[in-house]
């Protein structure tokens, strides 16, 4: 699982922004889901839903500030009690220690892109390198050292491509000079929506020049954007460089200093500045995904080499979708399509026929019962999702859901000022209610108004 990976940045979903051959391989050799959605589009709540198979108001994690109660039942605990060796590697982000795992090595908090702190039961330590490579190294090391006589289940959770989108040094400039087309809704004025869209703070023109665009603090007079914090900030957010060693920092600064110089010479403002920010955003966001795809390839290659491919279920997903300029935005949170949708691709050569496509409405709520089903274990009575197994076998369950429920809670204390809202989506219609300090409804016909 990655963090904030938009379907529009995966070539298996038709993206023309980037080629992701290793992620695509999972779809080609298995099944891709076209209508896979999250129930609460933000990091910690989505992870809690995945673990428990329960909605946010049941599992107790409604927003990023709440602590996950590790004493509750989760699918790793059930697998562990059934004899599976379980492992959690990478981004945890649930404010409590992992439970239900034989082995766990997690990032501290959000984690850093370079030389991150890795936490396990023995404490914490810095590991030098790039975070996506490091997480994959730890995963392969764990697979190497597992008990080969036991079945295994591993959660490999990448930090990338989470903000602030810091590419691996070898991918700096991979997209420089490429002109990315503006999304159709880039200059959305929100006139056909309630005030919730207009009053949020997710616009690309509010991105930080330092933190997001990577300009040197000394090269700008003052931040021009709020960064999603709700107010224009003179604060300089350059702390990410402090995690780099001298060699890394030298390569990094050589590249981004040239961008700073070009920015100074261009003297941009208005639409020109906004569109420059969008191009820079795309360059770094997609550069980060190059490493994600590369490292997924490393895992698939390891399974091939060890003779594990045929009998191992591989799932790729993200904790939610993300805006890549649609509606002029970055980030997630809203029940609009780009952040509601999550990529979902599955491969299991032993059972899943290659090249399948599903249009069923599926949710992150379904992961836990699906994993248990494949392990031959009945899902807990408290789990609210449904197993995807029949769908992956090409069978259309007669009782499959015709609609899905969504609820976002992180307001007013969260970033980006997205109002609390809940809603229902069917194949064709979507109804959203924004509430708390607002009371407004939005109804969409997705067939006639897909944007």
d(CA 105, CA 113): 16
Confidence tier at 372 by pLDDT (50, 70, 90): very high
In the block, residue with structure tokens 């030098």? 128
- Say what the pLDDT of residue 233 is: 47
Report domain extents, the chain.
7-165+285-396, 180-281
Are 367 and 313 a contacting pair, CB within 8 Å? no
Distances 322 to 9, 29, 191, 325, 421 between C-alpha atoms, Å = 10, 26, 22, 9, 18
Mean pLDDT of the chain: 95
User: Residue 380: its pLDDT value, please?
Assistant: 84
| pLDDT single digits (tens) 303-339 | 999 999 999 999 999 999 999 999 999 999 999 999 9
- Mean local confidence (pLDDT), 424-448: 98
Helices assigned H by DSSP within 86-174 = 131-145
pLDDT for 232 equals: 44
Residue 24 per-residue DSSP state: H
Calpha distance 189→338 (Å, rounded): 17
What is the per-residue pLDDT across 203-245, written as a single tens digit (0 to 9) for each? 999 999 999 999 987 666 556 566 666 544 444 455 677 899 9
Share of the chain above pLDDT 70, in %: 95
> Which string of DSSP letters, residue by residue, matches 372-434?
HHHTT-PPPTT--S---HHHHTT---TT--SEEEEEE---SSSGGGPPEEEEEEESSEEEEEE
Condensed to tens digits (0 to 9), the pLDDT of residues 26-81 reads 999 999 999 999 999 999 999 999 999 999 999 999 999 999 999 999 999 999 99
pLDDT digits (tens, 9 = 90+) for 3-19: 999 999 999 999 999 99
pLDDT of the residue at 235: 43
Write the pLDDT tens digit of every residue in 102-145: 999 999 999 999 999 999 999 999 999 999 999 999 999 999 99
160: helix, coil or strand? coil
pLDDT at 381: 86
* Cβ-contact 339, 41 below 8 angstroms: yes
- What does the pLDDT read at residue 234? 42
How many other CB atoms are found less than 10 A from the CB of residue 144?
10
- 365 burial (CB, 10 Å; 0-12 / 13-18 / 19+) is buried
**Stated pTM of the model:** 0.96
CATH class held by domain 7-165+285-396: alpha beta
pLDDT at 314: 99
Measured CA to CA, the distance from residue 303 to residue 307 in angstroms comes to 6
Whether 132 contacts 168, CB under 8 Å = yes
CA distances, 143 to each of 86, 147, 419 (Å) = 10, 9, 43
In the structure encoding, which two tokens stand for residue 189, read together? 């004025």
* Token digits of residue 26: 């999972």
pLDDT digits (tens, 9 = 90+) for 402-418: 999 999 999 999 899 99
In the predicted structure, residue 447 carries a pLDDT above the cut 80: yes
User: For residue 221, what pLDDT is reported?
Assistant: 57
Contact 299, 308 (CB under 8 A): no
Q: List, in order, residues 6 or more apart from 433 with CB less than 8 Å away.
A: 421, 422, 423, 440, 441
| Nearest in space to 15 (alpha carbons), one of 341, 275, 298, 271 | 341
- Which element (helix H / strand E) includes 294? helix 270-305
Task: Give the span between the Cα atoms of 427 and 79, in whole angstroms.
Answer: 33
């Amino acid at each position: 699982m990655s963090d904030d990976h938009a379907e529009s940045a995966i070539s298996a979903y038709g993206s023309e922004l980037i080629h992701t051959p290793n992620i695509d391989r999972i779809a080609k050799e298995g099944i891709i889901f076209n209508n896979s959605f999250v129930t609460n589009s933000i990091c910690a709540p989505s992870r809690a839903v995945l673990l428990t198979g329960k909605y946010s108001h049941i599992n107790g994690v409604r927003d990023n500030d709440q602590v996950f109660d590790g004493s509750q039942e989760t699918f790793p605990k059930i697998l562990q009690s059934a004899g599976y060796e379980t492992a959690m590697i990478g981004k945890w982000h649930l404010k409590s220690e992992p439970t239900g795992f034989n082995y766990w090595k997690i990032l501290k908090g959000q984690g850093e892109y370079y030389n991150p702190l890795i936490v396990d039961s023995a404490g914490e330590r810095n590991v030098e390198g790039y975070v996506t490579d490091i997480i994959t190294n730890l995963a392969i090391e764990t697979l190497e050292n597992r008990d080969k006589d036991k079945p295994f289940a591993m959660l490999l959770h990448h930090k990338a491509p989470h903000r602030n989108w810091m590419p691996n040094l070898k991918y700096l400039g991979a997209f420089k000079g490429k002109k990315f087309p503006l999304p159709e809704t880039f200059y959305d004025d929100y006139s056909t929506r309630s005030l919730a869209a207009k009053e949020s703070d997710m616009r690309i023109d509010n991105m930080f020049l330092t933190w997001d665009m990577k300009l040197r603090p000394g090269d700008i007079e003052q931040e021009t954007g709020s960064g999603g914090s709700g107010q224009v900030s003179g604060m300089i957010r350059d702390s990410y460089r402090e995690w780099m060693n001298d060699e890394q920092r030298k390569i990094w600064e050589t590249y981004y200093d040239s961008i700073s110089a070009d920015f100074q010479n261009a003297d941009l403002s208005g639409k020109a500045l906004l569109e420059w920010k969008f191009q820079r955003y795309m360059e770094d966001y997609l550069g980060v995904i190059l490493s994600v795809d590369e490292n997924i390839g490393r895992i698939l290659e390891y399974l091939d080499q060890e003779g594990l491919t045929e009998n191992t279920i591989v799932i790729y997903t993200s904790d939610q979708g993300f805006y890549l300029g649609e509606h002029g935005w970055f980030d997630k949170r809203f029940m609009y399509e780009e952040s509601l949708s999550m990529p979902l691709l599955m491969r299991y050569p032993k059972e899943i026929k290659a090249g399948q496509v599903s249009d069923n409405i599926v949710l992150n709520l379904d992961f836990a019962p699906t994993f248990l089903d494949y392990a031959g274990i009945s899902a807990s009575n408290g789990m609210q999702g449904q197993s995807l197994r029949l769908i992956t076998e090409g069978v259309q369950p007669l009782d499959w859901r015709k609609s899905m429920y969504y609820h976002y809670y992180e307001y007013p204390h969260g970033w980006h000022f997205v109002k609390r809202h809940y809603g229902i989506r069917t194949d064709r219609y979507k109804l959203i209610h924004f509430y708390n300090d607002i009371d407004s409804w939005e109804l969409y016909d997705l067939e006639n108004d897909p944007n």
